[in-house]
A = this chain, B = another copy of it.
């Protein structure tokens, strides 16, 4: 199983996916055709064209999952890329088009999975740690479970002196842990996770990630850190 899970797709002042070009090149070696899943945004054609342009540099031909029978597309591709946007809209469409099980199955049999932001959220057991607004109601919060723990993309540290009274990201994750006993990896922007079968490592920006577990102090994770132990997680959701 080969996964690349990006916190975010675009770094400030850089082109779409440019900041992760090296990591993308690694997981896309040997990939000629890729299915892009654009359902987190409203404009499927425009979003697919943007992904196709960014991935052309890697010699990859891109089809949108909305353009043909997606199962046929999956079967002729060596990779699937689930783009970011709104996680609730994305998951609703994955259920409506019955794509969760086929994605899980193809990835188990060697298809490369790339996700960014919402596409990373739906690689978790549930979308319970998304930052997105619940603009539509998917039939369930369960997602594809390509990793057995939760990820919070676009992780943001509390800002000293901020007078806004909404919860900080850390407070939101602590509320998640009050209800669920599952580790949450808060991935700062510019970072990614790379899974090869039973091996899992953090890559990308030096800012790294922050790992939250019930009953423990949060732990700073630096790029290069071996996180394979997280793949042993047995989560308990309420």
Contacts and interface: CB of A to CB of B under 8 A. Distances in A.
Nearest to A136: B179
Contacts of A130: 133-134
Contact of A176 (B10, B133, B141, B175): B133
Nearest to A131: B166
Contacts of A89: 175, 179
Tell me if A's interface is mostly helix, strand, loop or mixed: loop
Given A131-B133, A238-B136, A189 B165 contact: yes
Given A12-B163, A137-B140, 16 more contacts: A9-B165, A42-B175, A42-B179, A86-B172, A128-B133, A128-B134, A128-B136, A128-B137, A129-B133, A132-B167, A132-B172, A133-B176, A135-B175, A135-B178, A135-B180, A154-B166
Contact of A164 (B141, B154, B238): B154
Interface in A177-224: 178-180, 189
B134 A165 contact: no
A8 interface: yes
A54 interface: no
A21 interface: no
A208 to B, nearest CB: 16
A127 B137 CA distance: 10
Contacts of A175: 42, 85-86, 89, 133, 135
